[in-house]
Structure 1
Amino acid sequence: MSKKYTGTWNSVNEHEVPKWYDGCKFGIFIHWGIYSVPAFAPRTWELGAVETNEEWFCNNPYAEWYYNSINVGKGPSYEHHIEKYGKDFSYEDFLPMWKAENWQPQKWAELFRKAGAKYVVLTTKHHDGFCLYPSEYTDFNCEELGPKRDITGELTDAVRSEGLKMGLYYSGLIDWQFANDPIFKEEDNFGNACPTFEYADYSYNQMKELVDKYHPSVFWNDIGWPKQSEHMMPYFLAHYYNVVEEGVVNDRFNGLYHDFSTKEYKQGEANRKEKWEMCRGMGLSFGYNENEGDDQLISVPDLIHLLVATVSDNGNLLLNIGPKPDGTIPAEQEKRLLALGKWLEINGEGIYDTSCSAHLPETAGDGVQLFFTAKEKDLYVFIEGLSKEENTVLIPGVKGSAETLDSTLNVQCEETKEGMKVRINGYDKEKHIICLKVKDGE
């Protein structure tokens, strides 16, 4: 019988990260909404590369922040909006243009499975306040307006039919339908956030509504939780864990609670002692940005590197897609998902259901990088930076014999005082990072 939680901090603090979340390693984030229509943001910096002050918010590379990026009254997005749509064209005027006329949720779910993802997180309400599900607390939702479909419900069914876990994102602290003073610096996220008890109740009711209606395996809150209702936080968490036995939440709860911590682009830290998650878009934006074509997105080798480095450091990778307003996933994004899936078909044994190894990532000879994961008594060694068909790599401090997960490679091992010397034949650059399995190697 599963544990029943009560609405106290002592009770919910007993919750542990479920095994499925620790083992799944790779998920798909989806930012899709009204902001997908203008699909505009300047290409500036990764989050965390510069201070999140006025310079950041007036040059915001996040297309999903378009509402605020024109609300600040200056900068590239504001100038673009005035030139293309005019001063009297409001953000909400984009809504009738978002029809999702070519959306096929089952095709999305099939793609996510082929990409090797094990879970999906959909933005059910971003900061603009528009709900991607039929909420009983507002008519500002996708069944009443825009697509006129239950996007959350349809995608949840499709994702689960492919054997994947379904998670939901909710903007807990910010809703520009309630308070829309422009945000110029990081502290404005909290200082200008919805200050009323009315919104605190509204957001609480909607979060509980999402839990009761869709039973999300991940509840991914963003920015924070209204100060006016912090006392209700442990009750919400207890209710969620009681409804969803293997549920898990992130760390954006005013610093009061988390199951796992988050790193977004360069903001946040990896943590080998505690579960964490890296989230990022394929470009600099989460929402679809027409300024980010194939050449501006993360390359396939860099994407595989990001997954391996994240998993070897005890993290999960939550990789975002930004669909077009018609419901299609841009070809350049789909291409990367399929390439990652193809790599995981060969090397996934060293990724899924592994744990953080005692061996730290290191650079071997010739600039070759080594990453490590572990599973029971076996050690998995990822080798990045091979450039020739025949390679010799020393893996320091590791002894035993290794086999490759790629049957087209030929591997020979030799024990030395320094560690395992591995000769690899048959490598080509399309294999990217290769994985060796060392039995009883941990």
Structure 2
Amino acid sequence: MNKTMYSVITCALLLTANTAQAQDYQLKVSEAQQPMDKGKYEPTWESLRQYETPEWFRNAKFGIWAHWGPQCVEGSGDWMAREMYMEGTAKYNHHRKHYGHQSEFGFKDVLPLFKAENWNPEKLVRFYKDIGAEYFFALGNHHDNFDLWDSQYQEWNSMNIGPKRDILGEWAAAAQKAGLPFGISFHADHAWMWYEPSRRFDLKGDMRGVKYDGWLTKEDGYKPNADGTEKWWKGLDPQNLYAQNHDMSSKMWDNGGIHSQWGWAGGAIMPTEEYVTNFYNRTLDAINRYSPDLIYFDVTVLPFYPISDAGMKITAHMYNHHLKTRTATRIKNGNNPDPGVVFGKILSDNQKEALVWDVERGAPNKIMERPWQCCNCLGDWHYNTSTYEHGRYKSAATVVKLLVDIVSKNGNMLLSVPLRADGTFDEKEEAILKEFGAWMKVNKESIVGTRPWRTFGEGPIADSDIAINAQGFNDGQYTKAGADEIRFTSKGNVIYATALAWPDNMTVNIRSLATEKIKSIELLGYGKVKFTQTNDKLTVPLPKKVNTIAPVLKIR
């Protein structure tokens, strides 16, 4: 059966599969090189639904993510290694202007420019902890398929090319020294489709019809350059990076078509068992080396689900491995074992029992029964010079609004802080983070270690029906919150009420606390304050502004 026919049949099967129950996988990974750890968890939904979210994660509430790799080199933002091959786009034009045509200088040639020359992981992680982070995430690989460690199964990695450093190993050591649980995100499973534009060619202009470098093979590296010199990548196979030695998906010339194929349907060309096993091997290699406490996948449910058992096996391995190594619990809770945390997106209710649900750039508008996480970003996911130049970063006040809202609904917030290619953040990011950190230093007790109260909040936004779009993508609604939006958390007999901005008249009115028996109220950062209650509201006059962002009332 040819690949195209195989893909059509497989996609048809996917469209009718019950993704919450499907077990008859078309692609089964080999464990010959990386055996899955055996133990309490097996790679089935029934077994994985034994999972209980660790208390340390429930208490943590706030983490920081270094979503950082070679795509930061050009400073043109997220997905640049894909969009640099899309003729006429801003990233294509930027690359061609500054680096040359994509047939002659492709993303493989960007990799050696990723030097990380000013990167100090210990200093960065210590700073993140100082501003309130309770866990830390690093990028293991992105859709660009470049491994940021001394990878056994991917020759295109940060020890061979660019920094010549074990990025993950140094991040892991820095997190351990700071006493923070360590997470790794893996995104390379989708390189199969994501890099398809690297096999396009210009449709107009002076290079019309000239194929981009996604067609290159290992043999091409042994051919000398036009001036007789050797190619820098001699001995490496570009197809181990671009992964394009296969038929193309039905929408490979549609710049936005990948989104309808993200779940391995809609005309996507199915990957091979070799490709799926390679991702499995790489992921287990990183888990076994660095014993992360959390792993994140930028996928629907799990990697290659439901066409392969790869994601299920990785999850079972992670849980069993963590139960043995207990990395986070040694830091947080003595010697009590826990299975760690694995995140998945667009989950069914049953799947949310086996994984922690991740919502990208958004939140549900109710308290969730099980802990969940929102991943968001201070600016663009990869460093974007335009975001810096035009002041498009989230403000410290916006970060606080999102965090408080998320925590009130039983969630955690993972905030990505873009780094430049040299491994540093810019002065605008630093100022925002320091302002956020100053607010956290005073008000952290209303965030860390709390649980939802009876209701998550009140106000025009809280009372609205705000839908999640696909993975999330509704955070713009919450950034509009003003002083009339109140969010609640609790800890023992204490209720924390946060107004998401300072009221102009310096008075907080809270309907939900009108009839509660209140002993005292304290404005965090100030002290006890007066209050009055009527049948319809609690009124608290605020004596002064104690920060630039939002007041938090501690109510006994």
Q: TM-score range by the shorter chain?
A: 0.7 to 0.9
Q: Which residue of 2 aligns with 1:323?
A: 419
| Of 524, 538, 544, the match for 1:406 | 524
Equivalent of 1:145, from 148, 161, 170? Answer: 161
Q: In structure 2, how many angstroms separate the alpha carbons of the residues matched to 1:75 and 1:232?
A: 34
Residue equivalent to 2:96: 82
* Structure-1 separation of matches of 2:108 and 2:270: 19
**Residue 174 of structure 1 contacts residue 193 of structure 1 at CA under 8 Å; is this kept in 2?**
no
Residue 432 of structure 2 corresponds to 336
Shift of residue 268, structure 1, vs aligned partner: 7.5
Q: Deviations over 1:241-287 (max 9, x none)?
A: 1111331111149868452222222587765223221112212x111
2:493 is the counterpart of 1:377: yes
2:284 paired residue among 184, 192, 208: 208
TM-score by length of 2: 0.69
Aligned residue for 1:173, secondary structure, equals helix
Aligned to 1:396: 511
Question: Could you say if the C-alpha distance between residues 271 and 78 of structure 1 is closer, same or farther in structure 2, counting changes exceeding 3 Å?
Answer: farther
**Following the alignment from structure 1 to structure 2, what is the Cα–Cα distance between the partners of residues 373 and 9?**
32
In 2, distance between residues paired with 1:208 and 1:125? 13
Q: 1:354 to 1:112 in 2, by over 3 A?
A: same
Larger radius of gyration: 2
- Which stretch shows the higher mean deviation, 92-101 or 190-199? 190-199
CA distance in 2, matches of 1:25, 1:298: 19
Aligned to 1:240: 318
Pick closer, same or farther for the CA change 1:212–1:96 going to 2, 3 Å.
Answer: same
The offset of 1:349, in angstroms, is 0.7
2:9 is aligned to none
Letter of the 1:154 partner, please give it. E
Q: Deviations over 1:93-120 (max 9, x none)?
A: 1112111111111111111101201111
Mark the CA change 1:229 to 1:137 in structure 2 (over 3 Å): closer, same or farther: farther
**CA offset digits 1:289-336 (Å, max 9, x no partner):** 011116211112111111111111221111111111111122222222
Q: Which residue of 2 aligns with 1:197?
A: 273
- Does 6-15 or 103-112 show the bigger shift? 6-15
User: Between Structure 1 and Structure 2, which shows a larger proportion of strand residues?
Assistant: 1
Aligned to 1:22: 58
Matched, 1:166 2:188: no
Superposition deviation, residue 26 in structure 1:
0.6
Counterparts of 1:254 and 1:354 in 2: how far apart (Å)?
Answer: 25
Counterpart in 2 of 1:187?
A: 260
1:315-364 deviations in Å (ceiling 9; x for gaps): 11111111111111222222222221211111111101111222242239
Identical-residue share of aligned pairs (%):
28
In 2, Cα distance between equivalents of 1:207 and 1:382: 40
Matched position secondary structure for 1:128: coil
Give the superposition deviation at 1:227.
Answer: 5.0
Correspondent of 1:71 among 44, 63, 85:
85
Q: Please give the residue correspondences for 1:269-348 in structure 2 after superposition, counting only pairs within 5 Å.
A: 272-283=368-379, 285-293=380-388, 295-348=391-444
Q: CA deviation at 1:184?
A: 2.9
Alpha carbons 1:100, 1:325 under 8 Å: kept? yes
TM-fit CA distance, 1:410: 5.1
Trace 1:54-65 onto structure 2 (pairs within 5 A).
Answer: 63-65=77-79
Residue in 2 that maps onto 1:251? 344
Matched residues in 1 for 2:268 and 2:429: separation? 34
Q: Residue 133 and residue 322 in structure 1: after superposition, are their counterparts in 2 closer, same or farther (change >3 A)?
A: same
Q: How many residues end up aligned between the 2 structures?
A: 411
**Gapped regions of structure 1 (runs ≥ 5):** 41-62
Counterparts of 2:370 and 2:423 in 1: how far apart (Å)? 36
Shift of residue 80 of structure 1? 2.0
Preserved CA contact (<8 Å) 1:132 1:150: yes
Measure, in 1, the Cα distance between the counterparts of 2:525 and 2:373. Answer: 31
* Cα distance change on mapping 1:79 and 1:291 into 2, 3 Å: same
